[in-house]
Structure 1
C-alpha cells in the first residue's frame, strides 16, 4: 500500500544543506571543514579555561566553577561528567544578562550529539512534544555551552558555535545558516528560537496562495508552492498506516455510523453532523467506543474530498467556541490537516506526534501568530493559518 507524502519542511531544508553550504558559503570558507562541529573556525579549546576565554569574546562569563554542587547549576542539568563523553563540566555567571552559562568539555562530539538527540526523543516520547524546539545547546568541535538567557544565546549565535537542534518538527527558517550535525536527525544553525518572540527574527511569513500570485511568491523569501510540506494518504487504510500505532492508537477503529456518532464530555469531534457537508469522503473513529467505562481515547480520521470546505466549517466552529472567553475549550478537539487528510484530537501528546508527521493545526484565533522557528502557513480560508505552534 502506497503512502504519498509531499516533501516536508524539515526534509526539504535538509536536502538543501549541502547545496546551501556551497552556494551560501562566506568567502574563504573551506569545503573540507568537518560537518557537525560548528562554523569554519569553530573553536577547539584545550581546556575549560580556554573555552571560557572564547565565550567571553561574545558574552559575560565570570567566576568559573567546576564543583558538582555549585548552586548556579540548574536543578535538571543537561548531562554530567561521564555521560555523552563529557570529561569536564563548569558554570560561569552571566552578569550582564543575570543568568548562567554551563560548559561541557567532550572527548567525542558525535557521542555528545547522539546523547542529546536521545534525550530529546525520550522527552517527546514522554509527552513533551515541543522539547528542544528552542534549543540552547551551542556546540563547537570539542565542547558545548548552554546559556540560560535568550539574549546571551543571541550573542553566542554570532560566534562560530552552532545551535544543536534535534526535534524532528524543527526547520531552520530562511536566512539562517544551516549545517549538518554529526548525528542523523539533528541540525546545526545560528538560529535562536523562543516562545515569547525574543529570539532570532523570523524572515518567513505565512505563505500566499500561489494561484493568487500566478504561481510566484507573494513576498520575498516565500516559496512558490502553497505549502512547505504536508502528509497525504489516498484512503483510510493508508491514513491508518501513517498514524498507527506510534501516534494514534487505532487498534479499535470503526467506520460504522453509530460508532462515528459516539462522543463524551471529554472527547468531542470537530466535525458535527453529516460528513459530506464538511467535505469529507471517508471517516473513521479510533478508540474505546463503549464498555465498562464511558467512551475514551477517541480520535477521528478523515480522508477529505474538499479541504477548503472542511476548513471553512471548522473555522465557523472555532469562532463559536472562542466567543465566550477567547479560548478554545480544553475538551474540544483540534483539527490537524494534511494535503487531503485530517485528524481530530484533543490529546496534546497525539498532536505533537502528528506535528512530527508534518500535520498542521488549523488556527482561526484573531491576531494569532507563531514565534520564529515554528511553521506558519496560509490555510485555505481567510482569517486562519496552519501551524505547529500552540499557545499555552
Structure 2
C-alpha cells in the first residue's frame, strides 16, 4: 500500500508537466491555460541587447498592451515598422517601446516629418528632449530619462530632428540618415535630470546666475559668416527668395507700407559695408517679399543703432510694428526681415535675432546669447512665432 501511494503521488506530479506528458489518468487536473508566448526574432534580439544596459522585462507584442503610452509615435505597419513591442523598465517604473523598421532611413524620414508637423502646429519645443534611440536594426523609446541615460552608454543614439536642439561639446554627434537630424549620446531634459551640459548657458540679464540651454558662459555656440554679399546671398538661398536681387543703392533704400527695414539712412553709419535687397520693390503690384542682406564691418555699431530703433518702436505700446523687420545676425553678416517663415529658415542656419525688449527671457531649449550691446540678447525665440 505504501508503494501504491508513492506511485499515485508521482503520477499526479507528472501531470503538472505539459499535457503531452500525461496521457490518460482520470484523476488528473486539467492543465492551466498557456501564457501568451513572448515575442521571438528581431524583437527578442532587441530586448536582449537592451537588457545589457538596463531593465526590459515582460516583453509583449500585443497592439493593445495597456503599457503602451497614449502618445505612442507609430505602430506596426507604419514608418516601415514590421514589428513593435513593449517591455517594462521596473527599477525606473517606466516602459520601453521597441520597434523594428525594415528601412531605417524611412523611419527617420517619417520621424522628422512628425517633428516638423508638431512644430508647425505651434509646439516649437517638440523633439528637443527626444527619447527616440536608434540602434542597428531597431529603435528603443524609453519613457524615463534615467533609462535613456543608461541606454546611450551602448551604441544606441538619440535621434533629434528639432533644428534648435543642442549637442554640447563633449558628446558624440553623428549624421543621421536624414538631412536636418542628428544622432548623439546627449540626453536632453527640462528638469536637469538628463546628460550634464558643460556648456550650460547663462541668462545675460541674470549676471550668470540663471541657466538656460543655448547660452554658453563664454562666447557663442556658433554664428554664420560670409565674405561678401554674393556669398551671403548664396548662404541664405534656401531661406530667402532672392530671385529678384539688387545692390543698387537707390533700390536697396526702398521701403514700403508692408516692409520696413532696420537699417535706414546711410548704411555706413550702421557699420554696414555691403547691402542688397531680395524681393520685388514695386511695379505693377505692391512691393512684396522684401528682405535686406548686409555685410557688417562693425557689428557693435550695427547692434547699437538697431537697439535704439527697436526701443523707439516699443515706446508707444510695448510692441513692435508688424511691418517692422527684425535684425538677424551672424558673425559679420545680417538679414533684415519681417517674414516669420524666412526667420525660421535662418534660425536653422544659426542666425540669431537681436532682441532688446526689457525683461525678455527664452524658455529652455532655445538659444540665448549675449549681444554686443548692453540690454539686448541674441536668440531664436520669438513669443509670437515660436520656432516651428
TM-score, length-scaled by structure 2 = 0.65
Q: Which residue of 2 aligns with 1:358?
A: 350
Q: Is the 8 A contact 2:59 2:85 kept in 1?
A: no
Q: Is the 8 A contact 1:172 1:191 kept in 2?
A: no
1: CA distance, partners of 2:63 / 2:75: 11
Q: Which residue of 1 aligns with 2:100?
A: 105
Question: Of 167, 172, 184, which residue of structure 2 is paired with 1:172?
Answer: 167
Q: Is the 8 A contact 1:259 1:285 kept in 2?
A: yes
Residue 248 of structure 1 deviates from its aligned partner by 0.6
Residue 322 of structure 1 deviates from its aligned partner by 3.4
2: CA distance, partners of 1:330 / 1:200: 40
Q: How many residues align?
A: 327
Residue 377 of structure 1 deviates from its aligned partner by 2.4
Q: Is the 8 A contact 1:65 1:92 kept in 2?
A: no
Q: Which residue of 1 aligns with 2:226?
A: 233
Question: Of 293, 316, 324, which residue of structure 2 is paired with 1:332?
Answer: 324
Q: Which residue of 2 aligns with 1:286?
A: 278
- Say which SS state the counterpart of residue 365 (structure 1) adopts: coil
User: Aligned runs of 1:242-257 on 2, under 5 Å?
Assistant: 242-244=235-237, 246-257=238-249
Q: Which residue of 2 aligns with 1:29?
A: none
The Cα offsets for residues 334-373 of structure 1, whole Å up to 9 and x where unpaired, read as 1111121100112222112112222222122334344444
Gaps of 5+ in 1: 1-43, 210-220
Gaps of 5+ in 2: 1-41, 205-214
Q: Which residue of 1 aligns with 2:302?
A: 310
Corresponding position: 1:262 with 2:259: no
Residue 197 of structure 1 deviates from its aligned partner by 8.7
TM-score, length-scaled by structure 1 = 0.65
Q: Which residue of 2 aligns with 1:66?
A: 63
Residue 252 of structure 1 deviates from its aligned partner by 1.0
Q: RMSD of the TM alignment (CA)? A: 4.7
Residue 280 of structure 1 deviates from its aligned partner by 1.2
Residue 118 of structure 1 deviates from its aligned partner by 6.2
- Say which SS state the counterpart of residue 150 (structure 2) adopts: coil
Q: Is the 8 A contact 1:202 1:373 kept in 2?
A: no
Q: Is the 8 A contact 2:327 2:335 kept in 1?
A: yes
The Cα offsets for residues 267-315 of structure 1, whole Å up to 9 and x where unpaired, read as 2212223222211122122112113432121111111121100001111
User: Aligned runs of 1:1-392 on 2, under 5 Å?
Assistant: 45-46=43-44, 57=55, 66-67=63-64, 73-74=70-71, 78-89=73-84, 103-107=98-102, 109=104, 112-113=107-108, 115-117=110-112, 132-146=127-141, 152-161=143-152, 162-174=157-169, 177-180=171-174, 183=177, 186-193=182-189, 203-205=198-200, 226-244=219-237, 246-391=238-383, 392=386
